[in-house]
Structure formats: structure tokens, C-alpha cells
A and B are shown apart, each in its own frame.
Chain A
Amino acid sequence: NAGVTQTPKFQVLKTGQSMTLQCAQDMNHNSMYWYRQDPGMGLRLIYYSASEGTTDKGEVPNGYNVSRLNKREFSLRLESAAPSQTSVYFCASSEGGHTYEQYFGPGTRLTVT
């Protein structure tokens, strides 16, 4: 039982490049989330998916797109990376009804130069 896994762990991009962050969970959770964490700003919700087939914007969605590929997988895409997107990205999942209990992945450290 791996919980929530994220790939890659580290990534360096040049401004304007694109990439997709992958997330998968093996807990049969309905809801999945993408956050970014920055010093002084805390955790901020980018997008979330309440259930398979649905996605909704969070607090800071600009510059990102998501895909809920199936119940297990939720990907985050940066179409044209900007230095302001340098951050640590966390994927999380929850059963859905019990919103308080979110399980987090290990994070992806992204640097955009």
C-alpha cells in the first residue's frame, strides 16, 4: 500500500517549457487535490477533483490545467512554465465525505529558471 505517489520528485524547467506532474493513489479515494506550497504563503489549492470525471478550480488555478484520468490518477500540467511557478507541489487525496482527512504525497520540487 503506497498511499499517494508523485512523479517526478525534482524538476528544473526553463521559462516557457511545459511539463506534467503525475499523481496516483491506491486508497480508492474519491477526491484528489493539487496544492502548491511557498514560503510565507502556505499551502494553496490549485485544483481539486471531487470525484472521477469532475474537476474544479481552487485558489490559484491560473497557468495550470488538470486531468482526472481515472479514479486513481490526477495529473497537473504546466503549459508554459514561468518563474512564479517555482514551488513545491503536493498531491493529496481523501475519501470525499471526510474532507478533513487528506493524505499527501511526498511532493515535487519544481524550479523554473
Chain B
Amino acid sequence: QKEVEQDPGPLSVPEGAIVSLNCTYSNSAFQYFMWYRQYSRKGPELLMYTYSSGNKEDGRFTAQVDKSSKYISLFIRDSQPSDSATYLCAMSLAGNNRKLIWGLGTSLAVNP
């Protein structure tokens, strides 16, 4: 079993839909939770991060962490065609750890 599980999709939604992307993990010691966005033929870029549990909102994007269930989510409201990309979750331990543990990524297509 991988430490981080993420459904690769693909996920296809109409413009304006609410999108829910999810990852589960097995290591309860993870403290930092990140979502990266990767456009086709580009490098990943950090979208949002959360430390420990709770929610974080940035414009149309909301990240949630439920440590009791070992489950993280990214919600995209009023989705746009420009949101079409692969979304990767990543996690790391607390402290001065250099390594991120990555999900496989979920491919999202938002159709106009």
C-alpha cells in the first residue's frame, strides 16, 4: 500500500461546477499537506498548503485536512476551463525534513 493514495481520474466537469479532489494517507505523523497544480508539459506549482488540521481558503480554492480520518481534500468553486490540469497532493513530516511524499495526481478537465 502506498503512503499516499490519490485517484488519478480523469475527472471531467462542466464549467461552473464545484470540484472535489481527495487524497488519503497512512502515516499519522504527516503534518504538512500541500496541493500542487501541474499544467500539461509544465512543472508542478504550489497551489495551497495546510499545517496540521483544519481548513484554508484562497479565492475559489479551499483545502481541508481531517487528520482523524487521514483524509485531505481540495475544493474548487465555480470551476473554469483554466483550472484544467493535474492536481497533486503532497505531504511531509514535521521538522527539518526535506522529502515530500506525493500522490499520483488527479487529472481534471473543466469543459466550457
Contact = CB atoms under 8 A, between A and B. Distances in A.
Interface of A: 4, 31, 33, 40-45, 48, 50, 56, 58, 90, 92, 96-97, 99-107
A42 B98 contact: no
Interface residues of B, number: 22
Interface string B84-112: 00001010100011111011110000000
Which of B32, B43, B97, B104 has the most CB atoms of chain A within a 10 A radius of its CB?
B43
B93 to A, nearest CB: 9
Contact of B99 (A58, A104, A106): A58
17 contacts: A4-B43, A31-B98, A40-B104, A41-B104, A43-B44, A43-B102, A90-B43, A90-B44, A99-B92, A100-B34, A100-B46, A100-B90, A100-B100, A102-B44, A102-B100, A103-B46, A104-B45
If over half of B's interface residues share one DSSP class (helix, strand or loop), that class is named, otherwise mixed; here it is: loop
A48 B46 contact: no
B88 A104 contact: no
Closest 5 pairs (CB-CB, A-B): A104-B43, A42-B104, A43-B102, A100-B32, A100-B49
